[in-house]
């Protein structure tokens, strides 16, 4: 009988130890899962930060190019204006109305105005982090001989979201917070981006330089 009691007690101890081991293993598994999830979220947050740094680098390059282009255009515009002034003085002396009209049309300052300096962040239908790039609205407007508003409307009608650099920065901060708070995962679709930074028809928030 004593042997049976000892065996029973031994089995109970084994059962208790086994239960404790199982509970410990479950706790460790849960701990590892939480750690893995936290690391995954930090990795996704780092990915968004890297995207932001890449985009801001592109924007800075474009702004520099725009400043250079604006400077070159200003010099050409000065020569154009002086030439037009000289031509108008000469034609005015002749009192030839037809020649005056032609000179006015050729040297019309309004026809020589060009936009410079408007750069934005463009997010495509696939969203973040893969479908995003910097875009120079003013350059596209100059090359296509359209207004910046027309360029922006065309992009938005094609399913693209446009952000100023400041708005994009604020949105990235919001997205990073949501990812770390377990409220969001990458990739972030275009529809979800609209929820984080609702957009109507945004206007360029970066200064637009119009040559006169």
Tens-digit pLDDT profile for the chain (212 aa)? 545 455 666 566 666 666 666 666 565 456 545 666 677 888 999 999 999 999 999 999 999 998 888 876 566 564 555 455 455 556 555 666 665 455 455 445 555 577 888 999 999 989 999 999 999 999 999 899 899 999 999 999 998 999 999 999 999 999 999 999 888 999 999 888 887 754 444 433 333 333 33
Task: Specify the residue for token string 């949501």.
Answer: 178
Name the residue among 114, 118, 119 with its Cα closest to residue 72. 114
211 close to 113: Cβ distance less than 8 angstroms: yes
Residue range 132-187, pLDDT digits in tens: 999 999 999 989 989 999 999 999 999 899 999 999 999 999 999 999 988 899 99
pTM: 0.67
Q: Which residue has the tokens 């932001």?
A: 52
* Start-to-end CA span in the chain (Å): 110
Backbone angles phi, psi at 125, to 5 degrees: -60, -30
Task: Give bridge partners of residue 163 from the DSSP assignment.
Answer: 121
């Amino acid at each position: 009988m004593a042997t049976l009691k000892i065996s029973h007690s031994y089995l109970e101890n084994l059962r208790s130890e086994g239960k404790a081991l199982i509970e410990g293993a479950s706790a460790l598994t849960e701990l590892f899962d939480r750690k893995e999830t936290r690391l995954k979220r930090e990795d996704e947050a780092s990915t968004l930060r890297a995207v932001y740094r890449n985009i801001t680098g592109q924007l800075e390059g474009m702004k520099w190019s725009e400043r250079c282009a604006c400077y070159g255009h200003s010099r050409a515009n000065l020569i154009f204006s002086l030439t037009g002034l000289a031509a108008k003085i000469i034609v005015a002396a002749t009192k030839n109305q037809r020649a005056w009209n032609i000179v006015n049309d050729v040297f019309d300052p309004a026809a020589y105005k060009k936009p410079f300096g408007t750069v934005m962040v463009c997010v495509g239908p696939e969203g973040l982090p893969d479908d995003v790039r910097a875009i120079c609205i003013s350059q596209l407007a100059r090359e296509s001989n359209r207004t910046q508003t027309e360029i922006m409307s065309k992009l938005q009608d094609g399913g693209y979201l446009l952000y100023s650099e400041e708005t994009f920065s604020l949105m990235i901060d919001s997205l990073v917070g949501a990812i770390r708070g377990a409220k969001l995962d990458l990739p972030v679709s275009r529809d979800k981006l609209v929820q984080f930074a609702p957009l109507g028809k945004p206007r360029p928030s970066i200064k637009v330089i119009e040559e006169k």
